[in-house]
Structure 1
Amino acid sequence: MDTSAVLNVGLEAMLLAAKLSAPLLITALVVGFAVSLFQSVTQIQEATLSFVPKAIAVAVALLVCGHWMIQEAVNFTQTLFDKLPSLLGG
Structure 2
Amino acid sequence: PDVDECGSGTPCAPPGRCLNTEGSFVCECPRGYRAGPSGTSCHDINECLEGEFCFPHGECLNSEGSYSCLCAQGYAPNPEGTACI
TM range, smaller chain: under 0.3
TM-score between the two structures when normalised by the length of structure 1: 0.23
Report which of the two has the higher share of helix. 1
Report which of the two has the higher share of strand. 2
TM-score between the two structures when normalised by the length of structure 2: 0.24
Structure number with greater Rg is 1
